[in-house]
Amino acid sequence: MEALNLFKQTNFSNTIWWRVNNDIRGYKNETGNELVTEIIKNRLFRIIETNLIQKNWHNKHRIFIQCFEDGYICWVNINDLVIEKYETITNRLFLNDETSIQEQTPKILDWIKKQFRKSNFYLWGGTAGPNYDCSGLIQTAFLKSNIFIPRDSFQMKKFCEHLFNFPEDISVLKMGDILFFGENKKCNHVGIYYSKGKYFHSSGKDNGRNGIALESILDLEDSDRISRYYRSRLISAGRVTRSYLWNKTIR
């Protein structure tokens, strides 16, 4: 049954959660093509737009939603949705203790290494692959292990357990720790620590690799312009010790 008919049957309830059975795109506005995220198969969402019963559906093509796993809100094309009603929300959907999360770290990095080896380019809003933005790569890597973290880099910085500000002795870093980059302590880029001073990230064309790369935070003799650029923008390091709870609204 078409998504719109399912929504109408439930009077566009904002308490019902729906599971997507296909990858869909999330947009910044009701009109326009500015991508802000991608919502991969099996994720959950609910409708948060109001007064939908009275809307003229001949002219309306998008609906305003909130995702379960990160609280993120965006617009999606109704005709792109292949959905089913999700009956019960439980804490079993995600890992929420530090020990269990740390046990998943090797799996998370193995998944990122596989994405690194694929042909890819940087895509603003990309989370479905093979093309990712910086935070989309990391969020999806954790999501694959049932660990929910926020969507955007500055949100991740607030969410993670703070470890230290740069410059600092990096010997305390563990595989899977999150590195935050930006200017004037304002985060706008994120990477994930691998080992021996190296980290993975997805960077754009301007001052970046236009895709997923393995970079070093060490001041090496053979460092190129891009490595130096990102090293100069390091702000802090953090660690994922819990899962994000859905009832937070972030954009």
Q: Are residues 172 and 69 in the same domain?
A: no
**Helix or strand run (H / E) with residue 194:** strand 186-195
pLDDT of residue 250: 52
Confidence of residue 176 (pLDDT cuts 50, 70, 90): very high
- Does residue 248 belong to any structural domain of this protein? no
* Percentage above 90 pLDDT, the chain: 90
Structure tokens at 239: 């660690």
pLDDT of residue 247: 72
Identify the domain boundary among 59, 86, 113.
86
Kindly report, residue by residue over 226-241, the tens digit of the pLDDT. Answer: 999 999 999 999 999 9
- Name every residue whose Cβ is closer than 8 Å to that of residue 106 and which is 6 or more positions away in sequence: 175
Identify the domain boundary among 86, 110, 125.
86
pLDDT at 189 over 80: yes
CA neighbor of 45 nearest in space, from 71, 11, 18: 18
Q: What is the CATH number of the domain that holds 73?
A: 2.30.30.40
Where does residue 127 rank: exposed (0-12), middle (13-18), buried (19+ CB within 10 A)?
buried
Confidence of residue 149 (pLDDT cuts 50, 70, 90): very high
Identify the domain boundary among 36, 64, 86.
86
Q: Are residues 156 and 214 in the same domain?
A: yes
Cα distance between residue 176 and residue 149, in whole Å: 13
Cα distance between residue 251 and residue 191, in whole Å: 20
Mean pLDDT for the chain overall: 95
Q: Are residues 82 and 97 in the same domain?
A: no
Q: Are residues 119 and 210 in the same domain?
A: yes
Kindly report, residue by residue over 115-148, the tens digit of the pLDDT. Answer: 999 999 999 999 999 999 999 999 999 999 999 9
Q: Are residues 235 and 148 in the same domain?
A: yes
Number of domains making up the chain = 2
Cα distance between residue 32 and residue 24, in whole Å: 16
Q: Are residues 74 and 163 in the same domain?
A: no
Q: What is the CATH number of the domain that holds 97?
A: 3.90.1720.10
pLDDT of residue 15: 94
Q: Are residues 118 and 233 in the same domain?
A: yes
SS3 content of the chain, % helix, strand, coil (to 5): 25, 30, 45
Q: Are residues 69 and 146 in the same domain?
A: no
Q: Are residues 58 and 124 in the same domain?
A: no
pLDDT of residue 62: 97
Q: Are residues 53 and 103 in the same domain?
A: no
Cα distance between residue 244 and residue 104, in whole Å: 16
Confidence of residue 249 (pLDDT cuts 50, 70, 90): low
**Helix or strand run (H / E) with residue 227:** helix 225-232
- Does residue 53 belong to any structural domain of this protein? yes
Q: Residue 194: which domain range?
A: 93-239
